[in-house]
Amino acid sequence: MIEVAVVASFLIAFGIGSNDASNALSICVGAGIIKLKRAIFLFGILVFLGIFLQGQKVMKTVGKNTVDVNLSIVIVALTISAILIIISNWRKLPLSTHQVIIGSLIGSAVASDSHVNITSIIKIITSWIISPFVAMFFSFVLYKALEKTISKFSFFHIEKLLRIFLIFSGMLISYNTGANELATVLGPVMHSGIEINKIFLFSIASIMVFSGAILLSHRVIETVGKGITTLDPYSGFAAQFGAGGCVLFFTFLGMPISTTYCIIGGISGVGLTKGINTVKLGLLKKIGINFVLTPSLAFLLGYFAIKIFRLIYS
């Protein structure tokens, strides 16, 4: 049965690649700053470095501090999460991997009469709510600051600076994908008592992330990158870097938050610099509804799956 949990975590890692990860370097590739193959290679290295160097805190929050996990909880929660993430990506809707995994973990734990840490859950939900607004604020301030300072340089120097800035912001998002997104997926596996080689697990999961980015990521990018407001390299950098700084800040706190929702917050922050009319509020409302429904649905599926699981094997 251990194989089911590991395979499910790899499927979710693939889902992260297709749903979130290519947000990191897509602007750089689209603007011709870096070649696709080189970007993918760079992305894979940074995802691995993120999970290896800084994934411990988030893994501990998700896999140890929130609920007392056991093998049946990990198997049910990760399998449900993998199915939901793949379906959502196919529908071209941006989805928080964190909300799916934590919602199904809590549902499974409640149905199993396992310990659930309410204080930790409140901290996580608070982080989910405020993080897009933090990213929005970072991006808004950054865009305004750049607007005042960078306009003093010549066109040649501005273009050169933007190329460097975009690469740097893309690398930051890539690193966060490992340190926060992938850490959320592997947290339950690492803290379930399963004996597994950590480096092997991190390596295969990182490969699955950028495999998903190569094969399926364009579907969600169309929604996030073009559907909310118009992005150019200048505003793209402010949105990406604002979101990246926000995710890194919460990673230091050990909080699992969504890169996708922070990028949406960052893009909205840049849009606000040009006026509220440039932001498509209807799409944000749709994403907001998804924000509430996703963890609720994951909770219910996790709860009833464990009940059925117990009924069959009792």
- In this predicted model, what pLDDT tens digit does every residue of 79-137 receive, in sequence order? 888 888 777 767 766 667 888 999 999 999 999 988 899 999 999 999 999 999 999 99
- Compute the chain's Rg from CA coordinates: 19
Residues in the chain: 314
Whole-model pTM: value is: 0.83
DSSP code, position 180: I
List of residues 6+ apart from 294 with CB closer than 8 A = 84, 88, 95, 96, 99, 100, 103
State which residues form the domain around 304. Answer: 1-313
Find the mean pLDDT for residues 65-89: 84
pLDDT for 237-288, tens place per residue? 888 889 999 999 999 999 999 887 888 888 888 888 877 666 667 767 777 7
DSSP-H helix ranges across the chain: 2-19, 26-30, 36-54, 56-60, 71-90, 97-111, 118-149, 155-176, 183-190, 198-216, 218-221, 227, 233-252, 259-273, 281-313
Q: What is the pLDDT of residue 312?
A: 80
How high is the mean pLDDT of the chain? 82
Return d(Cα 44, Cα 46) in angstroms, integer.
6
Q: Pick the residue with more confidence: 78 or 286?
A: 78
Return d(Cα 314, Cα 300) in angstroms, integer.
21
| pLDDT of 231 strictly over 70 | no
| Number of structural domains found in the chain | 1
Backbone angles phi, psi at 116, to 5 degrees: -120, 125
Confidence of residue 22 (pLDDT cuts 50, 70, 90): low
Return d(Cα 59, Cα 238) in angstroms, integer.
29
